[in-house]
Homo-oligomer: A and B are copies of this chain.
């Protein structure tokens, strides 16, 4: 990739040779390619052709890398909803963006869910969703509940999908003792559907129509 015609001539000035964005982009490459298990500071540095310690000039620690990568990856996937859409459209669009992030970068999801932080990379999403909910007429408490429910649903679905992506599910089910697991065994060949895109959309519509019904019951 970076061919970089050796700038280490006899000239005096060392200027930063990279940017924070390059570091985050390289981190995303590593995550996508090698998975959450193998994702490491040292591999990001390798990807950029720098010493591992140089990273710490651009980034405080590994946690900050995950936060930055999340924001970067979400920006990649976010399409503005046309204004003037109703609250339900806007909410659906935001949740689908979050789901698209999980689809596009499945290896990232485990890292996001493993964070001990508020996932600051997702605050812009939350702000827009909360705005849509309050604008629709939900009281603040219900709006916050719905915010937590919808974001948890999307991340949870993305996380379980990512975990199941690489394995042969029908095979796993058939290994179970059929006597103890009659329903799963019967459905073995169709079992993978339970984490399909259709399943995700089904759950999202359940949530949105539940919210719509709730809103109608308001004074």
A interface residues with partner B (beta carbon < 8 Å): 36, 109-110, 113-120, 123-124, 126-127, 130-131, 134, 140-142, 144-149, 151-157, 159-160, 163-167, 169, 172-173, 176, 180-184, 187, 190-191, 193-196, 198-200, 202-203, 205-207, 209-211, 213-214
Query: What's the dominant secondary structure at chain A's contact region?
Result: helix
Q: Closest CB of chain B to A100's CB: distance in Å?
A: 16
Q: Is the CB of B152 within 8 A of A160?
A: yes
The residue that A152 contacts in the complex, of B116, B131, B142, B195, with Cβ under 8 A, is B195
Having A113-B160, A149-B203, one finds 17 other A-B pairs with CB under 8 Å, namely: A109-B113, A110-B113, A113-B163, A116-B166, A116-B167, A118-B164, A118-B173, A127-B184, A130-B184, A134-B183, A141-B193, A142-B202, A144-B190, A145-B198, A151-B160, A159-B159, A206-B210
Please give, as numbers and ranges, the residues of chain B lying within 8 Å of A141 by CB-CB distance.
190, 193
Asked whether, in the complex, the Cβ of B118 is within 8 Å of the Cβ of A110, the reply is no
Contact A195 B148 (CB under 8 A): yes
